[in-house]
Amino acid sequence: MLDKVLSTLKADHDAALAELFEFMKFQSVSADPAHGGDVRRCAEWLAALLTRDGFTASVEETGGHPAVVARWQKAPDAPTVLVYGHYDVQPALMEDGWTTDPFEPQLNEGRICGRGASDDKGQLFCHIAGLRAHLRAVGKLPVNVIMLFEGEEESGSDNLEGYLVAKRSELACDAVIASDTAQYTGGRAALTYGLRGLTYLEVTLTGPNRDLHSGTLGGVIANPATALARMVGLLVDESGRVNVPGFYDDVTPLEQWERDAWAKLDYDEAALAAELGVTDLFGEPGYTAVERMWARPTLDVNGIWSGYTGEGAKTVIPAVAGAKLSCRLVPDQEPDKIAELVERRLRLSCPPGLKMEVKHLHGAKPVLLPSEGKFVDCAKAAVGAAWGEDPVFIREGGSIPVIETFVRVLDAPVVLMGFGRPDDRIHGPDERFHLEDFHRGMEASARFW
Ligand code: BES
Ligand code: ZN
């Protein structure tokens, strides 16, 4: 039976790629209100595709961008698995440095290129293809399936928790599977058992009621740009450790078994530096790069602005300065608590005469997931067969806010089966997904069921 499913899947490769291209053409950028219509049209397209493929699908209102839910629940006595993915994408403009139009997907040198190729349209499509191969080959699925594809992951999944709580009983399941992570370096099969969390702040410093001449008035008031640079600079020390009182209080230290296991992964730090085009890696002392990426918290400036940045010189004291800051969090740090601590530290160093405003943008809790159990075993076998090698168990530095909500609200084990690669350039220009990974991902999905 599996042979028949896999040969049906293979015969579907080209059609699946063409449909993925259609899917990627929607500019479903959740962060930008101007793309609200595109997000909704993408959801409608996805629901129509899933209906055609034999699922009971609908576009579901969440209060924000809609989610798509599709079901096939005709296997009494078999477990129910919820498949999670997101059809929204990060913004992408040609001027960000794309070589081809981000929303005109194409195949270049064995890679699917375009926004969402890997994060997460290509990966979620692997499950659609893997599931429908069963329906097409044998007319049924071996398990019950609920697909939940959301439209707000890239902007923090603000409305999904409310939806999950309201629909808890309709979404009851024995396990959740999500493919929105990556393989280990170099295309090595991996399952992910930990994600970092996130807390995101925007700080604005306002000084005089207008930009001033820096000669006539320089020296009599605090300069918002100078102050902000200093305040932000103080948040991380020269060694790379976060310098916010209380920041590390709730950090669960790395376990020795993890450090040993990760050391065996033999991560090539020099290769990473070379790939990133830097002469040296840098970060908190006492930890390897992998440990810092997967299991240590950070504080980063994501953007900073003030004053004159055009050609030549303009002698001005800017009226306003602003910065976007975010922290990646590890168990058991709490996003709200960390945001408070950072805000307090900033306030302490804000000079007199400046007004400081802080907005708390989104947060996500860190998670650690089981690395054993029935569903993990299935994922291990499925990925192992599709990749031709046993997967390694890794953690990831990125965040998927709803994963922690699944654990808490649905009380189900979550398996993260990532088909992307660390160098897929997600969120950046020229995002891509290897065609080979698309094929292997579809196969792993089909085998998992
Ligand atoms: N797919 C990523 C998360 C990810 C990235 C997992 C790399 C593993 C490796 C996800 O779509 C994402 O980008 N999440 C955001 C969440 C945020 C906007 C709340 C992130 O991590 O920045
Ligand atoms: Zn993303």
Site to substitute for ligand 1 among 32, 115, 180, 195, most atoms within 8 A of C-beta: 180
Give dist(CA 18, CA 21) in Å, integer: 5
Task: Output the CA 13–ligand 1 centroid distance in Å.
Answer: 27
Cis-peptide into 249, omega within 30 deg? no
Q: Residue for token digits 């629940």?
A: 73
Per-residue confidence (pLDDT) for residue 33, from 0 to 100:
97
Residue nearest to atom 7 of ligand 1 (CA): 398
Task: Output the CA 90–ligand 2 centroid distance in Å.
Answer: 7
Q: Name the active-site residue from 120, 150, 152, 153.
A: 153
Q: Does the pLDDT of residue 186 top 90, yes or no?
A: no
Which atom of ligand 1 is nearest the CA belonging to 401? 19
Per-residue confidence (pLDDT) for residue 421, from 0 to 100:
95
Give me the DSSP letters along 205-274: EE-SSS-EETTTSTTTS--HHHHHHHHHHTTB-TTS-B--TTTTTTPPPPPHHHHHHHHHT---HHHHHH
**Exposure on the CB side of residue 200, measured as CA atoms within 13 A:** 14
Residue nearest to atom 13 of ligand 1 (CA): 154
Task: Output the CA 371–ligand 1 centroid distance in Å.
Answer: 20
Residue nearest to atom 1 of ligand 1 (CA): 180
Residue 237 annotated as catalytic: no
Q: DSSP H helical segments within 368-432, as ranges? A: 374-387, 401-405
Per-residue confidence (pLDDT) for residue 20, from 0 to 100:
98
- Token pair of 107, please? 């195949």
Ligand 1 pocket, CB under 6 A: 119-120, 153-154, 156, 180-182, 198, 362, 364, 396, 398-401
Cis-peptide into 300, omega within 30 deg? no
Average pLDDT, the chain: 97
Give dist(CA 138, CA 130) in Å, integer: 13
Q: Does the pLDDT of residue 119 top 90, yes or no?
A: yes
The ligand minimizing its distance to the Cα of 402 is 1
The ligand minimizing its distance to the Cα of 365 is 1
Task: Output the CA 396–ligand 1 centroid distance in Å.
Answer: 9
Task: Output the CA 17–ligand 2 centroid distance in Å.
Answer: 21
Q: Name the active-site residue from 38, 88, 258, 443.
A: 88
Site to substitute for ligand 1 among 126, 154, 155, 431, most atoms within 8 A of C-beta: 154
Residue nearest to atom 15 of ligand 1 (CA): 399
- Token pair of 211, please? 């930009």
Per-residue confidence (pLDDT) for residue 362, from 0 to 100:
85
Beta-strand pair 190-195/367-368: antiparallel
Per-residue confidence (pLDDT) for residue 1, from 0 to 100:
87
Q: Does the pLDDT of residue 399 top 90, yes or no?
A: yes
pTM: 0.94
pLDDT in tens, 270-282: 999 999 999 999 9
Which atom of ligand 1 is nearest the CA belonging to 362? 19
pLDDT in tens, 251-266: 999 999 999 999 999 9
3-state secondary structure of 12: coil
Residue 88 annotated as catalytic: yes
Contacts 24+ apart (CB under 8 A), 236-239: 236/299, 239/284, 239/285
pLDDT in tens, 45-62: 999 999 999 999 999 999
The ligand minimizing its distance to the Cα of 294 is 1
pLDDT band at 442 (very low <50, low <70, confident <90, very high): very high
pLDDT in tens, 344-396: 999 999 999 999 999 999 899 999 999 999 999 999 999 999 999 999 999 99
Average pLDDT over residues 207-217: 97
End-to-end CA distance of the chain: 12
3-state secondary structure of 149: strand
The ligand minimizing its distance to the Cα of 431 is 2
- Judge whether 317 and 292 are in contact, CB under 8 Å: no
Residue nearest to atom 5 of ligand 1 (CA): 398
